[in-house]
């Protein structure tokens, strides 16, 4: 009788401990929110994007912004959105569902990206603050899967910040982004911040939509080693979100050894909002 009672107590205790671990995953979300709270509050502007703002840009870039429908919309200081899809850790890794919510500040370039794996114990925070990048991923908020910092992470995070702008093209007009036309379907864009500069090539279709976005200024961590990565994010579907035409589905591709592979697939971009103060709400 006593043995049965003890076994029941152990089972209840183990269940409670597991429940506590699952609940503790929200700690990573609180960490993301605390990072945002430490950032300067975005300034509010009454300026709007005008025809003149577009006319001074190279023709291929003008085509992109006209397609995106930015004219007449506000110049913003922050934005955020939600992404849903799947991700894997390596070429042969298992796919895992993911939902991410992120916040980007423009007046002092920063990004805070909170990701969780629905139905899994994984959660993480990818941040770029004061020119420093950091990627933290944990299981049950206890076991550290990744905690990457350093020069390579700083540069990679700035590349990712620049890539984020495709989901809210209003943001380009509040940043020191420079453009150079390569040909009628390609433009090079660059940004410098905190003593570091990065570049990317944008492939733009004849109708103005982005087909691909590529940069070799990023790094990938492979078996504990940082390798130069020819990173790209081809886009496969567009839709109108909050009056803007933006990509709503696409892929992330690593190519650090001459064999490209897809490590993330995004099939829904939603909850786009601007001049916000924190992460958008969870779907």
Predicted confidence band of residue 3 (pLDDT cuts 50, 70, 90): very low
Three-point CA angle 20, 25, 27, nearest 5°: 105
Q: How high is the pLDDT of residue 272?
A: 97
Which tens digit of pLDDT belongs to each residue from 15-36?
A: 344 444 444 457 899 999 999 9
Per-residue model confidence (pLDDT) at position 204: 98
| Residues 6 or more apart whose Cβ sits within 8 Å of residue 30 | none
pLDDT of residue 16: 40
CB 76 within 8 A of CB 5: no
Residue 142: C-alpha distances to residues 118, 124, 133, 186 (Å): 17, 12, 21, 45
Contacting residues for 91 by C-beta, under 8 A, at least 6 apart: 259, 261
DSSP code of 109?
T
144-162 pLDDT, tens digit per residue, is: 778 999 999 999 999 999 9
Q: Average pLDDT, stretch 239-244? A: 97
**Exposed / middle / buried, residue 8 (Cβ in 10 Å: 0-12, 13-18, 19+):** exposed
> What's the rounded Cα separation, in Å, for the pair 49 and 52?
8
45 in Cβ contact with 76 (< 8 Å): yes
So what's the pLDDT on residue 23?
44
Q: What is the pLDDT of residues 94-127, one digit of tens each?
A: 999 999 999 999 999 999 999 999 988 889 999 9
Phi, psi of 118 (to 5 degrees): -55, 130
The mean predicted confidence, pLDDT, of the chain is: 91
CA distances from 128 to 153, 171, 225 (A): 9, 16, 20
- Kindly report, residue by residue over 20-76, the tens digit of the pLDDT: 444 445 789 999 999 999 999 998 888 999 999 999 999 999 999 999 999 999 999
Q: Average pLDDT for residues 210-215, to the nearest whole number?
A: 98
User: Does the structure show a pLDDT above 50 at 93?
Assistant: yes
Note the pLDDT tens digit of each residue in 169-194: 999 999 999 999 999 999 999 999 99
pLDDT at 87: 95
Distance CA 177, CA 157 (A): 16
What's the burial of 34, exposed, middle or buried (CB within 10 Å: 0-12/13-18/19+)? exposed
Q: What is the pLDDT of residues 262-283, one digit of tens each?
A: 999 999 999 999 999 999 998 8
The pLDDT value recorded for residue 18 is 43
């Amino acid at each position: 009788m006593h043995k049965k009672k003890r076994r029941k107590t152990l089972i209840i205790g183990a269940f409670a401990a597991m429940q506590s671990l699952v609940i503790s995953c929200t700690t990573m979300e609180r960490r993301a929110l605390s990072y945002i709270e430490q950032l300067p509050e975005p300034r509010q502007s009454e300026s709007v994007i005008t025809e003149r703002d577009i006319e001074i840009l190279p023709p291929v870039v003008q085509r992109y912004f006209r397609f995106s429908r930015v004219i007449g919309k506000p110049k913003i200081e922050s934005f955020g959105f939600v992404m849903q899809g799947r991700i894997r850790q390596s070429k042969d890794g298992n796919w895992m569902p993911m939902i991410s919510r992120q916040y980007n500040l423009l007046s002092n370039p920063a990004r805070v990206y909170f990701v969780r794996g629905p139905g899994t114990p994984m959660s993480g925070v990818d941040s770029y603050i004061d020119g420093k990048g950091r990627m933290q991923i944990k299981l049950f908020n206890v076991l550290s899967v990744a905690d990457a910092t350093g020069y390579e992470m700083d540069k990679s995070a700035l590349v990712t910040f620049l890539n984020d702008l495709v989901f809210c093209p209003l943001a380009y007009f509040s940043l020191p982004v420079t453009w150079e036309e390569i040909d009628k379907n390609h433009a090079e864009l660059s940004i410098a911040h905190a003593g570091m500069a990065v570049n990317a090539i944008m492939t733009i279709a004849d109708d103005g939509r982005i087909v691909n976005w590529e940069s070799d200024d990023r790094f990938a961590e492979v078996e504990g080693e940082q390798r130069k990565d020819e990173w790209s994010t081809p886009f496969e579907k567009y839709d109108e979100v909050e009056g803007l035409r933006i990509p709503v589905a696409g892929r992330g591709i690593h190519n650090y050894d001459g064999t490209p592979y897809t490590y993330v697939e995004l099939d829904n971009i939603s909850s786009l909002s601007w001049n916000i103060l924190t992460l958008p709400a969870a779907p």
